[in-house]
């Protein structure tokens, strides 16, 4: 069974600085997708960024970028120029790609609570 | 284009009562997923449905819980005879058919409190 591990329960960063959140996963599949979701105090789940496993190029979305290391099964999120509005829980998630046994469910890590300090 | 809608946003039930949670997917989305988030934990998959069809219910407790996504109307997650351990946030997500786009978009959640 696939698992997702986020080993940092809490992180703190100064406004305008850069922070990296770690995520590792375990799978025997070759085709899959990885996601980072943000959950602010409102508890709404907001998609931050996604990565297809077959793509070697790391995904970027404005101030958010990932470091995808397929061999190491690592998928870290880098937030540049941190803003107060980035304060939230961040969840890493895994989804199997198309296949006979795929149900496209998301498997989430336990989350990292990020605090951006003014 | 409205996002995923869930109602009610907050629901209070006494032990033994029934809870009905509703989810209307985004326009054009035919696939619905339900997740549960216990306090201070990540989201856990419960069930995946297409219209009139349950695809994967491997994460849903065998007793008291059921889900449906009828041809017309919202998807419903039903919890019978609720217990205090059912208190959680229940999130619905929707997506287009897999193969077209795999990203799931989440609703605001329903916070269930069982007294």
Write the secondary structure of chain A as one string of H (helix), E (strand) and C (coil).
Answer: CCEEECCCCEEEEECCCCEEECCEEECCCCCEEEEEEEECCCCCCEEEEEEECCCCCCCEECCEEEEEECCCCEEEEEECCCCHHHCEEEEEEEEECCCCCCCCCCEECCCEEEEEEC
**Are the beta carbons of A42 and B35 separated by less than 8 Å?**
no
Min mean pLDDT across A1-5, A91-95, B32-36, B60-64 is at A1-5
B93 close to B109: Cβ distance less than 8 angstroms? no
For chain A, say whether B88 makes contact (Cβ under 8 Å).
no
Percent of chain B with pLDDT over 90: 78
Which DSSP letter does residue B100 get?
T
CA dist list (Å): B114 to A50, B10, B81:
35, 11, 10
Percent of chain B with pLDDT over 70: 96
Which DSSP letter does residue B26 get?
P
For residue A71, give how far its alpha carbon lies from the nearest alpha carbon of chain B (Å): 23
Q: What is the mean pLDDT of residues B4-27?
A: 96
List of chain A residues whose C-beta atoms are within 8 Å of the C-beta of residue B102 = 33, 50, 95, 97, 104
> Residue B100: CA atoms inside 13 Å, Cβ hemisphere, count?
9
Question: How confident is the model over A73-87, as pLDDT tens digits?
Answer: 999 999 999 999 999
Q: Nearest by CB to B102, which of A43, A104, A109?
A: A104
Please report the pLDDT score of residue B96 as a whole number. 83
Q: Nearest by CB to A47, which of B41, B89, B103?
A: B103
């Amino acid at each position: 069974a696939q698992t997702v591990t986020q080993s940092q329960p809490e992180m703190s960063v100064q406004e305008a600085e850069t922070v990296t959140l770690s995520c590792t996963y375990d799978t025997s599949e070759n085709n899959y997708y990885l996601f980072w979701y943000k959950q602010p105090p409102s508890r709404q789940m907001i998609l931050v960024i996604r990565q297809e496993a077959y793509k070697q190029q790391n995904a970027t979305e404005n101030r958010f970028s990932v470091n995808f290391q397929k061999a190491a099964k690592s998928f870290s999120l880098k937030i540049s120029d941190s803003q107060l509005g980035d304060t939230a829980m961040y969840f890493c998630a895994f989804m199997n790609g198309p296949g006979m046994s795929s149900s496209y469910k998301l498997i989430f890590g336990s989350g990292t609570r990020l605090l951006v300090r003014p | 284009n409205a996002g995923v809608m869930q109602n009610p946003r907050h629901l209070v039930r006494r032990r033994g009562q029934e809870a009905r949670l509703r989810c209307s997917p985004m326009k054009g989305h035919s696939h619905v997923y339900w997740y549960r988030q216990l306090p201070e934990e990540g989201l856990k998959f419960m069930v995946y449905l297409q219209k009139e069809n349950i695809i994967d219910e491997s994460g849903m407790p065998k007793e008291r819980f059921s889900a449906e996504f009828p041809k017309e109307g919202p998807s419903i997650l039903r919890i019978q005879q609720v217990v205090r351990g059912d208190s959680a946030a229940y999130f619905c997500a929707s997506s287009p058919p897999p193969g077209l786009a795999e990203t799931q978009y989440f609703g605001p959640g329903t916070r269930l409190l069982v007294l």
